Chain A
Amino acid sequence: MDKGLVVQFVISTLLRYWLCHSEFKSLLQDRVEISNPINAWKNLVEGVTLMKDQVNPYDGDIFHESPLILHMFKFIIGNDNPYVQQSIPFIFILCDLLSAILLYYMAQSYMIQMVQIEKQNKHKYAKNITRILINIEDLVNVPKYVALAYLYNPFSILNCICLTSTVFANFFLCLFFFAFVTQKPILSSIALTLTVQQNIYPITLLVPACVHFHQYKKSWRLFLAGFLLCYSGFLYFCLGLMNQDTSFLAATYGFQLTVPNLQPNIGLFWYFFTEMFEHFRVLFIVAFQINSIFLYVLPLTLRLYKEPVLVAICLTGLAAVFKSYPCVGDIALYLALMPLCKYLFPFMQQGFIVACFFIGCSMFAPTVWHLWIYTRSANANFYFGVTLAFATSQIFLLTDLLFAYLKRDYTLENGIQKTIKGKPARLVLD
């Protein structure tokens, strides 16, 4: 890591520290885009307080975090020592920094792998494609971009200063990406367990990880077995923590899957299931959850089997769009992974539109929320419209990324010239 990057780390830490202690924090902490029923700091405090007063926190409607996080914070929130209380924001900032560092090393390793692959396959490529091969400068630049994209993304800053538990989810996911890209089966399995204990959606990453380990002659069986072992061990551990009470399963995974809380968020579920006819509810919940968990795993893995990391990025992104309780923290993570695909950027077409949508939606969402909830001059449709636009733009970004990969793949094989007998031609899916 060079000096410049260290300076950036320090600056972003100071920025987070300042925001954590400014008045913006209380203003932002209750925003539905940032805090949802699962990750909100207020709900975590509630859970810990309930547990301290001998009430099962999973019995009520408010707490939905995993037992591990609950018991971790039992010592922090429950402690009356003022030093411990003051250190709470630092835990979150530190977690964010560690995530950025992990992303940095992950990106470094990934770029080296990509360059090596291109070197090996150079004889298969068409002529005149050196322009689109990975630039040697990117070996240094891309890791920096990835780390900076996480450190300075407003979404991740907001996520951090509002002390949401998504900070930890992101950290675990970064740890998984790091272990996965650097081919460490056992660390990957532990990291994936930690990720999945908080929310169920990243379980799809099992598949690209297995493919990746297989490609690099590492034992994917070890990874899979490690995950199963770790995860069952974790469940057993949680049962011990909760005194053999299984209610936490229904309150965490059950809550994510059945979507009982219809508080608005940036996802697609809340208004859909507010307006759903009661007799179709189960059908659509199952359909939506299949869509967000299983549907795209196998097709994408089969099609992009050469690029499991890209599959993992796309699955993370799709989960952030389609999960039942998404928040800006989820988006921050997959946006930070985007610079890994810098070599695809020349083939992407929707960048400008998507950027406009992101900015527009980020500004419109709080506005229409205020109009709806506070001044009551707008209604739920306005906010729903903004979330739809936001989801659409994210989908554009992800599908554009995949299209770009296909186009680059085609171009590597067939050359940059896109003509048929001298006539201009274009690439279409057929």
Chain B
Amino acid sequence: MKVTGLRSNSTRAFVNLRHTDPVYVCDLKAELKKRSLPVSGPKPQLIERLKPFTEKQLAANQPPMLPTQHATSAAISIITIPSSSSSDDSLPSAYDFNWSMRKLFGNGVPSSCSQAETSAVYVDITANLTGPVFEIFPDPTQVLTSLHGGQKHHIAMYNLIEITKERIFNVYTIHEKPRVSPVSIQPTLYAHRYITGYGQERGGIVTKIHNKHRTPLKIIYLENIPWFTPLYYHTLKITSGNKEIIPLIKKYIPGKARVRPYYLEVAFEAPARSVTTLSVDFTYMFLKWQEYPPDANHGFYLGSAIITALLPTARNYTAIPQTQSLIKNSFNISRDGYLVQLRTEALIVALPTPDFSMPYNVICLACTVVALAFGPLHNIASKRLRLTVIRHRTILQRLKRVLNVVTGKHAANKSDDEDEDKKENKEEKGKEETKDKAQTETDEGSCKVRDTKKDK
């Protein structure tokens, strides 16, 4: 069944209610209490007890509503899809198909818009002829017949301007017997989109467009891919079965990092009763560390692609003509095509992340490597080769030199060392003695090594 409410031409919300239990036991009990009826028993019985009371009485007991609610500002089209999971043929499944405006929105409509010339609620009751029979309450102001795109619709119209003068408007249906869900008829055109490839290096976006119609459909596919997943335009491939489809028109604006996204628009003809696969490759970009959001590994969203087509049939199609704004304008007009825009699933890609705790380390390490080149090259360019005697230092002596450097005795010791170097050539014999001495004494302990240094 289909409820078509008032709508504005700017926004439209689709609410899919799957298996919403429309009547709550606590509500029923409260109603029964008010009428001093017994509150015990299973839910169907409670409802049976309440049935004699008219809709008017029920509505009158509703809490007061805000008068400022303007029905014209609500733009809602609701399709309830009953769950087929209610398998056991016990009574409750019958009530799955009963609905009322109050149950769906929590409220009826207390008033119509004071500014609006017309204010009406339309309920598509075509299913009453083909599917299980239901009753609709209250009686509609008028039952309209709409014939468009080869489809005949019966529509119950409620004139809110008249009705809300007397009472709060609520509309509800009661099904006489459990309803058997028919196999859902697939729409003429629908699409799925997903990401291929694994790893965080290269991937592809694949969109599968299903054309269920008996004629080929011209389709415009529009993709706006963010700059952090650069597209490879040459990998764009449109296939249907094993056949490659040559696009009619291609429009491509390559993206630029941090400036603009990749814009891809392709028009092509999807063959009759076919699945067309549209695929394009992309790479994962490596961002600067400050460009990642706090939950960096959550992933980045790629917005949905938009598929535009003119459907030749109006099956399952409810929309206001683009040039008009009222629902009643959509009755009884057949057009050449019925414009439909599908938005595919949004995708999520997990871009490779750097280590966020590393900036100082990385800067230090990379600069060290540069310094590793700079140091020797500077030495090579600015110093001369010279022969020096190879001095053998013991491990302890080396350690001591390092310690001295650390503790700040560097300058003094360095001059000592330089003196040593100069003396070396002159006092080779003397040095050899001290060296031997040092070597013998290192075995005895570090304190004495210090003494030998002083001796020197």
Binding site for B on A (CB under 8 A): 30, 42, 45-46, 48-50, 53, 55, 57, 59-62, 260-264, 268, 270-278, 284, 288, 291, 295-296, 299-300, 302-303, 318, 321-322, 372-374, 376, 379-381, 384, 388, 391-392, 395, 398-399, 402-403, 406-407, 409-410, 414, 418, 420-421, 423-430
Contact call B257/A260, Cβ cutoff below 8 A: yes
B254:A50 contact, CB within 8 angstroms: yes
- Considering the chains assembled together, what is the distance between the CA atoms of A303 and B285 in angstroms? 43
CA distance A414 to B362 in the complex (A): 45
Check B428 for interface membership: any CB of A closer than 8 A.
yes
Q: Chain B residues near A302: list those with CB within 8 A.
A: 381
Q: How far is the CA of A420 from the CA of B199 in the complex (A)?
A: 63
Contact status B366-A388, CB under 8 Å? yes
Contacts known (A59-B254, A402-B380, A403-B376); A275 close to B354, Cβ less than 8 A: yes
Contact A373:B201 (CB < 8 A) given known A55-B254, A268-B369: yes
Q: Which of A61, A391, A406, A424 contacts B369 (CB 8 A)?
A: A391
Q: Which of B175-183, B386-394, B445-453 is the interface stretch?
A: B386-394
CA distance A270 to B286 in the complex (A): 9
Q: Does any Cβ of A come within 8 Å of B288's Cβ?
A: yes
Q: Which residues of A contact B262 (CB under 8 A)?
A: 60
Give the nearest-CB partner of A411 in chain B. B385
Judging by beta carbons under 8 Å apart, are A299 and B233 in contact?
A: no
A-B contact pairs, 10 of them (CB 8 A): A45-B234, A55-B233, A261-B285, A268-B370, A295-B374, A299-B382, A402-B380, A425-B390, A430-B384, A430-B385
Q: Is B377 an interface residue (CB 8 A)?
A: yes
Q: Give the 5 A-B residue pairs with the shortest CB-CB distance, closest first.
A: A60-B254, A299-B381, A49-B234, A399-B376, A374-B199
CB distance from A129 to the nearest CB of B (A): 15
Is the C-beta of B232 less than 8 angstroms from some C-beta in chain A? yes
Partner of B201, one of A30, A62, A398, A424: A30
B386's partner among A49, A273, A399, A428 (CB-CB below 8 A) is A428
Please tell me which one of the listed residues A278, A291, A303, A374 contacts residue B374 in the complex, with CB atoms under 8 A apart: A291
Assuming the A-B contacts A373-B201, A388-B365, A427-B387, are A274 and B379 also in contact, with contact meaning beta carbons closer than 8 angstroms in the complex?
no
A-B contact count (CB 8 A): 185
Cross-interface CB contact of A402 among B352, B369, B377, cutoff 8 Å: B377
The answer on a CB contact under 8 Å between B385 and A392 is no
How many angstroms from the CA of A322 to the CA of B373 in the assembled complex?
10
Instruction: Find out whether the CB atom of A321 lies under 8 angstroms from the CB atom of B373.
Output: yes
Q: From residue 283 to 326 of chain B, which have CB atoms closer than 8 A to chain A? A: 283, 285-290
B200 partner residues in chain A, CB cutoff 8 A: 373-374, 376
Task: Say yes or no for B22: interface residue by CB 8 A criterion.
Answer: no
Residues of B within 8 A of A59 (CB): 253-254, 256
- Number of B residues contacting the other chain (C-beta, 8 Å)? 57
Not counting A50-B233, A270-B286, a sample of 19 additional A-B residue pairs whose C-beta atoms are within 8 angstroms of each other reads A50-B252, A53-B252, A60-B230, A60-B255, A61-B227, A61-B257, A268-B369, A271-B362, A272-B363, A299-B377, A300-B381, A318-B373, A374-B199, A374-B201, A376-B200, A399-B373, A403-B376, A423-B428, A424-B390
Given contacts A270-B286, A302-B381, contact A276 B252 (CB under 8 A): no
Q: Evaluate contact between B230 and A373: CB separation under 8 angstroms.
A: no
Please name all residues of chain B whose beta carbon is closer than 8 Å to the beta carbon of A277 when the two chains form the complex: 290, 359
CA distance A345 to B242 in the complex (A): 61
Expressed in whole angstroms, the Cα–Cα distance for A291 and B198 within the complex equals 38
Chain B positions near chain A (C-beta within 8 angstroms): 198-202, 227, 230, 232-234, 250, 252-257, 262, 283, 285-290, 352-355, 358-359, 362-363, 365-366, 369-370, 372-374, 376-390, 425, 428
Q: Which residues of B contact A410 (CB under 8 A)?
A: 385
Known A30-B202, A276-B363, A395-B372: A296·B385 in contact at CB below 8 Å: no
- Whether the pair B289, A275 counts as a contact (CB closer than 8 A) is yes
**Shortest Cβ gap from B225 to chain A (Å):** 11
B380 pairs with A388, CB closer than 8 A: no
Residues of chain A within 8 A of B256, CB atoms compared: 59-61
Report B381 CB to chain A, min CB distance, Å: 3
The residue in chain B whose Cβ has the minimal distance to the Cβ of A55 is B252
B354 touches A274 (CB 8 A): yes
List chain B residues, Cβ under 8 A from A60.
230, 254-256, 262
Q: How far is the CA of A33 from the CA of B389 in the complex (A)?
A: 45
Within the complex, the shortest CB–CB distance from A400 to chain B, in Å, comes to 9
B381 touches A303 (CB 8 A): yes
A303 contact set on B, CB distance < 8 A: 380-381
Contact in complex: A262, B384 (CB < 8 Å)? no
Decide if B379 touches A429 in the complex (CB within 8 Å): yes
The distance in angstroms between the C-alpha atoms of A62 and B229, with both chains bound, is 11
- Closest-by-CB residue of B relative to A421 is B428
Q: A61-B256, A372-B352, A388-B366 are in contact. Are A429 and B384 (CB under 8 A)?
A: yes
Chain B residues whose CB sits within 8 angstroms of the CB of A278 once the complex forms: 288, 290
- Distance of B435 from chain A, by nearest CB (Å): 12
Task: Out of A50, A262, A299, name the residue touching B288 (CB < 8 Å).
Answer: A262
Q: Per a CB cutoff under 8 Å, which of B287, B382, B386 touches A262?
A: B287
| Least distance between B422 CB and chain A CB atoms (Å) | 13
Identify A275's interface contact among B232, B257, B363, B385, CB under 8 A. B363
Chain B hits for A262, CB < 8 A: 285-288
A429 to B379, CA, bound (A): 7
